[in-house]
Structures are given as C-alpha cells and as structure tokens.
Amino acid sequence: MASSMGECPVRKMNTGGGGTRNLDWWPNQLKVNILRQHTTVTNPLDAGFDYSEAFKKLDYDAVKADLHKVMTDSKEWWPADFGHYGGLFVRMAWHSSGTYRLFDGRGGGGQGQQRFAPLNSWPDNVSLDKARRLLWPVKQKYGNKISWADLMLLTGNVALESMGVKTEGFAGGRADTFEAEESVYWGAEGTWLGNEDRYSRGNEGVADSGVVDGQQSEKEHKDIHSRDLEKPLAAAHMGLIYVNPEGPDGIPDPVAAGRDIRTTFGRMAMNDYETVALIAGGHAFGKTHGAGPADNVGKEPQDAPLEQQGLGWTNSYKSGKGPDTITSGLEVIWTSTPTKWSNHYLEYMYKYEWELTKSPAGANQWTAKTDDMIIPDAYDSSKKHKPTMLTTDIALRYDKDYDKVSRHFLEHPDELHDAFAKAWFKLLHRDMGPRSRWLGPEIPAEVHIWEDPVPKAEHPTLSESDISSLKKEILDAGVEPTKLIRTAFASASTFRGSDKRGGANGARIRLEPQKDWEINNPSELKEVLGALEKIQQKSGKVSMADLIVLAGTAAVEKAAGVQVPFTGGRTDASQEQTDATTFEHLYPSRDAFRNYGKSTERVKTEQFMIDRAHLLTLTAPEMVVLLGGMRALNANWDGSNVGVLTKNPGKLSNDFFVNLLSTETVWNPKNGDQELFEGVDRQSKKTVWQASRADLIIGAHPELRAVAEIYACDDAKEKFNKDFVKVWHKIMDLDRFDVP
Ligand code: HEB
C-alpha cells in the first residue's frame, strides 16, 4: 500500500486514453458524455436481453430461501456479528436506496450503482464491499435472472424478515448497469467527507471563513444551526449517504444533528414520522464498528491493490475483522437484541440519560449513564456492555419535533413496526416508477400516493378509425396547431428517466401544480384543455391524457406531412392521486427545447439542456433533432421567435440547421448576459434571426455541430423529419411501461 517516497501518485501513462485529455485542457467545456452511458458497448448481456422476462423465470422462493441461509452462515473471512449478517445487509440496502433525491430523481438503488465508483468507495460505504461479496454465490447461482440492483435490496428485505419484521413486500425490476453512472451531482468537493462547497449560510450564519482558532468553534457551532444545504444534495458531506453520525461537522450537538437529518431526509420526501420510523427501525439492528484507530484502515476499493480483487479498506488492527472491525470508527450497539426486531432502541433512548464518550477510534458517541450492563457483545458471550447511541440517534429525542414522534412510537410499538415497514418499502421502491414496472410475487396490494398512480383503463382501445376521426376533430377545433404541440410536449416531457416519474399518462398537466406552471403557459393551456375537453365529452371513448398526446401528434403530422405513431391507453389521474408537493420538483426550471429559462451563476443554459436531455433519456443526436424540430414547429414556451430559424414557422423542416450553419450569418450577443444573440446577414447587414445559448451551442460545440451538419445537408430533409417524428413519439411514450 505504501507508495515509495517522491513518486508522483498520478502515473503518466502513455498508451491509448492516456495523456492530458480534453477535460483537463478545457474543464468548462460542455460535457455531453452523460448522454451516452449504458449503451450496448458497455452492456455484456445479449442484445435482446430483457430483464423483466429473465426475472419472470427466477425461482423467487428459492432465492429467498438461499438468502435466509446466507444470513446465519458466518464466513471465516468476514464473520457475522452476533452470528447474523442481518444488520450489515440492512445497511447495504439502505445505503443503496438512500442515495435517492427528490429534486432530480437521481441516485437510489435502481441501477446497482453501489458496485461502481464513487459509491463503492464512499467512506459511508465502508465494509459494504464485504456485504456484496458475501452475496456473490447467490448472484452466481441465479445469474441474469436477478440483477445486483434487485438482489441488494431484496437481501435487505429478507434480512429484516429474518429478524422479525413483517415487511410490506418487495418488487423487483431494477435492471443492472455496467459502468459508473456519471450523471449524478454528488457535490463539488474534492475531498472525502468535505463539505466546503455545499452550504450557504443562513441569516445568523457566519459567511467568512478564516476565523481565528479560539472563536472558530463558537462560530462554527452557530453555523451548523443555520446553514442551508445546496440543492439537489441530500447529504451533509461528500461521501456520506446522509449526515455525519457524530453530529454536524463532527460537533456532537444532537439538536443541530436533528436539523441536518430533517434537511437530508426531507430531500428524499421523508417527513418526520417516516424519518423517525426509519432510523428507530433501522437501528433496532446490528452495531457500529470502531474497534481501533482509523489509521489501520487501508485504501478504499477503487484505489486498493489489484490483488484485493475489488475489496478495499484492509484493516491491519489485530485480526482486521469480527471484533476488530473498523467501519465508521464508532463503537455502538443500540439494543439488547441486535438480531431481533424490538422497540428497545426508543425504550433505552428515553430510559437513560446520555453522556458524551469516545469510541476506541476516538469518535464522539454517547453512553447511557447507568450500571445496567444489558448489551451483548458481538463475539464474546461472556461480555456485556452499557447501551450506546450516536449523536444522530439521540437527536430523535433532543429535537423537539422528533421527540414528539419518538415518544409516540415509544408508547405505540406496533405502530412503529408498521410505520417502519411502510417507510422502508417506500425507501426501496420510490424510484421505480409506475407499478407496471414492478415484478414478482410480493407486490403489495395497497397503492401508495408516491407511486403517482393512474387509474386502470376505462375505455376500450381506440380503433384506427376512432383515432383518425378524433384527429380530424382536434384539428378542426380552431386551436392553433403549435399550441397543441406545446401542450403535448409539456405534458409528456415532465418525465424523468432517473426515478421514472412524470410523463403524459395521468394527464396531470390538468392538475395542480402543473396547470399553473409558468413554462406551461397557463392561459394557453386552459384554452387547449378546454377545446380538448369538449371533444372528449362528445366522444366519450378517450381519456384526456390520450387526447392531449393525440392533439400534439395530429399537429406534428400536419406540420411534417408524414404519419406520426400514436399509442393509446393512457388514463386520467385525479388530484387526490397526485402528490402536488413532490410533483413540484418535476418543474422544468430550464427547458432548452422550449427556450425557457437562463443560466445561473454556476450552470449555463446549455448545461441545463444536457441535464434535461439526460432526464428525458435522449442521446446527443436525439437532443439535437428534438431541439431543431421544436424550433421549426415554433414551439417556444412563450411563442417567441428566438431560435426559430425558418421562414416557415410551424412547418417541420431542417431549416433550423441549415440557417444555423449558414456561413452568411454572423452572431452577436444582444445583451451583456450572453443569453440572447442576434444573427446578422453578412450582405445586407440586417438582423435576420434571434437565438438563445441553447440554439447556438448546437453550432458551437464540435460534437453537436457534427450532428447538426448531418441534418443540415441537402440529402437529410427526409431523414430529419423521420428522426424528429421518432424522437417525438419516444417522448410521448416515455412513461408507457404498461405497453409491452
Ligand atoms: Fe444507520 C449502522 C449512521 C440511518 C440501518 N448507521 C450505522 C452505522 C452508522 C450509522 C455510523 C455504523 C456503520 C458501521 O458498521 O460502523 N444511520 C446512521 C445515520 C443515520 C442512519 C447517521 C441517519 C440519521 N441506519 C439508518 C437508517 C437505517 C439504518 C434509516 C435503516 C432503515 N445502520 C442501519 C443498520 C446498521 C447501521 C441496520 C447496522 C449495520 C451492521 O450491523 O453492520
């Protein structure tokens, strides 16, 4: 492990892929790479491999039986605490799903990303390399019929069941990825456990750093009570799932810890009730590991020597495992029955007073002021300990609002059990999208609001002739076709591939909050919906959700002069089926495709465009085609002509590309903010066009320009229309997991 003195830690490899790369030369260049992940060149499975089909062949009961066996089959190379791996596996599943955040739907356990960097090496994931390796024989036995993503979560679920929790059930359906996901913003810090970039300060906060030593702790202390965590982050430090267990920035202040917990758990849409249930339920099991000083622990998996074969954190303290394990550096056992469900966590929390102590590794933790030696040792049955807790645990008592919930659960242990089971199910499944994606025999009957449910189909499938007569009626209704296009796009493009929320199904564009979003142009939306409602009532056979998409489809068809595919079968959700608060996070605060929104201090318009394209699961060529087509169709959110580089707005053509790449136009910024540009004709010196950053990046970025060139060529007119129609249809159907 030790590197020889004076050797540069970065090796200057001189083979393919080595040397200084574009990103090193131009760190601010627009990164298109997140649009080309998880493609056929990274996925080793056969081209037609369909995970849901494979999963259906899985002997589900057999896997569960095998997992039950694994729980107590302690291995010499990584012995099980208390003879049961339950705690470790629950933590593995929780850390897998717990990276989810509500703001962009990214993170979460849906892709099996804990196998890859950075998550495989996050300081908060220490020892989970061992947990996954313990599962390898099971993975190997069942092969492609169960993904790592599903297996890790199912194992956590089975662990709970084996320790006496009646879970709500389990749904499979998370297909694996085979490369590190690059799209998630985990923060800007360059150090593990750093947090220098993620907080802005609240009112009484301290803005200046560089305070002198003596005052530092007092000022910092004030600071941890008032700072604001940067969006979309849901963790207090780089490399943590949520919060620092010792308290904010290591300061053992349970009230401040409560504040951090509320912020971070809130960012995955867990309220106080669910948060207390999750923590009190989770820490009913297992132990923490800090047998000795942290400097015994070697490199994380990503940087560990080859011969360790993907395992990291080699521990040179005594045996390096079992009783000598160092994971978090904390040494806490919460209850007297760490492998059995109980309410002891809360019972002890309130029964005892707590004093600040140090773990053998020197970390801040709390010990009960008592002589009660009631806690078993994980390896020595003759030894007993006093109850211990983390700062973040006792936060559930010392934070006023958590205290109320904790006391309530203390008095109602059965309710804690059910609340835990429910919150756990939500934790594991909330980024899976609609129920139609869920697989397996253990899907609970109860439908949850966070699933964004839509009703079952109430209309028979539309026939071809229904579709064509409806299209005719729509186009004859006297609404400008571009408005129909904008509405259909607005309805469908809320979809995000990250957590599979949003989309046209449900027609939630009629409901709060979407109906009032500025980008949806509420007054225009009202006009369109009003006209479509009349048609719907008259027809009696079609949902509004279908009609909104069909209207856009009819209008695109008319503009393109080619047929546009349409898949019916959507249904209309009610306001009661819609969690308006969490839907607010689907708001496209920037949408390049409709020329909506501008750069911020940190993010340029074109970077927002890539982010949005990624959520829409578009490739770079699809993104370029979509943008060019939307401009030709005159589909800006406000009807402006920015980027509408055509003399025939409303007609689908490749004009946007032809005019953007024309050597006869010179572009100049119009305002100081570099958001709006004017295109001046070289000959006449007249301003002929206006364009946004999103428009001009297509001509400026070499890779996007290369795509634009394809579409601007004389031989591409047909191809462009065909490709636009294809991406349009893709967007309309992004949420149609119900369609085979
Ligand atoms: Fe937990 C463990 C912290 C939440 C479940 N944790 C743990 C630890 C720590 C923690 C530090 C230790 C690690 C080692 O090993 O050393 N958590 C924490 C925090 C939080 C939490 C800070 C927030 C507040 N958990 C949680 C949840 C859950 C959990 C929510 C579920 C649901 N954990 C857990 C478990 C464990 C832990 C089960 C045990 C593990 C073993 O045993 O291994």
Residue in 288, 334, 425 to alter for ligand 1 test, most ligand atoms within 8 A of Cβ:
288
From atom 4 of ligand 1, which residue's Cα is the shortest distance away? 279
- State the CB neighbour count (10 A cutoff) for residue 633: 28
State if residue 268 touches ligand 1 by the CB under 6 angstroms criterion: no
Cα of 151 to ligand 1 centre, how many Å?
Answer: 19
What is the C-alpha radius of gyration for the chain, rounded to an integer number of angstroms?
28
Read off the tokens for 223.
Answer: 């600071």
Residue showing tokens 């009646």: 166
Tell me what pLDDT residue 202 has: 53
Residue 1 — very low, low, confident or very high, per pLDDT cuts 50/70/90? very low
* % of the chain beyond a pLDDT of 90: 93
State if residue 256 touches ligand 1 by the CB under 6 angstroms criterion: no
Is the four-CA dihedral 407, 413, 417, 419 of positive or negative sign?
negative
Q: Distance between CA 11 and CA 55 in Å, rounded?
A: 43
State if residue 132 touches ligand 1 by the CB under 6 angstroms criterion: no
State if residue 417 touches ligand 1 by the CB under 6 angstroms criterion: no
Q: How far is CA 258 from the centre of its chain?
A: 24
Residue in 81, 90, 193, 315 to alter for ligand 1 test, most ligand atoms within 8 A of Cβ:
90
For residues 693 and 704, is the Cβ–Cβ distance under 8 A? no
Q: Distance between CA 626 and CA 643 in Å, rounded?
A: 13
State if residue 94 touches ligand 1 by the CB under 6 angstroms criterion: yes
How does pLDDT run across 184-195, given as a tens digit for each residue? 999 999 999 999
- State the CB neighbour count (10 A cutoff) for residue 61: 9
Tell me what pLDDT residue 211 has: 31
Q: Can you give 527-583 as a three-state secondary structure string?
A: HHHHHHHHHHHHHCCCCHHHHHHHHHHHHHHHHHCCCCCCCCCCCECCHHHCCHHHH
State if residue 736 touches ligand 1 by the CB under 6 angstroms criterion: no
* % of the chain beyond a pLDDT of 70: 96
Tell me what pLDDT residue 6 has: 55
From atom 10 of ligand 1, which residue's Cα is the shortest distance away? 245
From atom 18 of ligand 1, which residue's Cα is the shortest distance away? 245
Residue 2 — very low, low, confident or very high, per pLDDT cuts 50/70/90? very low
Phi-psi region of 413 (alpha: psi -120 to 50; beta: other; left: phi over 0): alpha
Residue 72 — very low, low, confident or very high, per pLDDT cuts 50/70/90? very high
Tell me what pLDDT residue 7 has: 60
Residue showing tokens 């409901």: 511
From atom 37 of ligand 1, which residue's Cα is the shortest distance away? 91
From atom 42 of ligand 1, which residue's Cα is the shortest distance away? 286
Cα of 284 to ligand 1 centre, how many Å?
Answer: 10
Indicate the DSSP class of residue 230. P
Q: Are strands 665-669 and 676-681 parallel, antiparallel or unpaired?
A: antiparallel
How does pLDDT run across 536-564, given as a tens digit for each residue? 999 999 999 999 999 999 999 999 999 99
pLDDT above 70 for 177:
yes
How does pLDDT run across 411-452, given as a tens digit for each residue? 999 999 999 999 999 999 999 999 999 999 999 999 999 999
Tell me what pLDDT residue 370 has: 98
Cα of 365 to ligand 1 centre, how many Å?
Answer: 14
pLDDT above 80 for 209:
no
Cα of 605 to ligand 1 centre, how many Å?
Answer: 39
Tell me what pLDDT residue 459 has: 81
**Nearest-atom index, ligand 1, CA of 395:** 24
Is the four-CA dihedral 9, 125, 397, 394 of positive or negative sign?
negative
pLDDT above 70 for 217:
no
Longest dimension (CA), the chain: 94
Q: Which residues are catalytic?
A: 95
Q: Distance between CA 292 and CA 326 in Å, rounded?
A: 7
Residue 222 — very low, low, confident or very high, per pLDDT cuts 50/70/90? confident
Burial of 210 per CB tally in 10 Å (0-12, 13-18, 19+): exposed
> Averaged over 49-73, what is the pLDDT?
98
For residues 492 and 551, is the Cβ–Cβ distance under 8 A? no
- Looking at residue 17, its amino acid is G
How does pLDDT run across 629-649, given as a tens digit for each residue? 999 999 999 999 999 999 999
From atom 5 of ligand 1, which residue's Cα is the shortest distance away? 282
What DSSP string describes 664-680?
A: TEEEEESSTTSSEEEEE
pLDDT above 80 for 208:
no
Residue 671 — very low, low, confident or very high, per pLDDT cuts 50/70/90? confident
Q: Share the mean pLDDT of the chain.
A: 95
State if residue 258 touches ligand 1 by the CB under 6 angstroms criterion: no
Tell me what pLDDT residue 216 has: 46
Calculate the alpha carbon distances from 244 to 251, 256, 259, 282 in Å. 9, 11, 12, 16
For residues 148 and 112, is the Cβ–Cβ distance under 8 A? yes
Residue 215 — very low, low, confident or very high, per pLDDT cuts 50/70/90? very low
- State the CB neighbour count (10 A cutoff) for residue 458: 9
For residues 734 and 586, is the Cβ–Cβ distance under 8 A? no
Residue 219 — very low, low, confident or very high, per pLDDT cuts 50/70/90? low
State if residue 422 touches ligand 1 by the CB under 6 angstroms criterion: no
State if residue 82 touches ligand 1 by the CB under 6 angstroms criterion: no
Q: Is 439 helix (H, G, I), strand (E, B) or coil?
A: strand
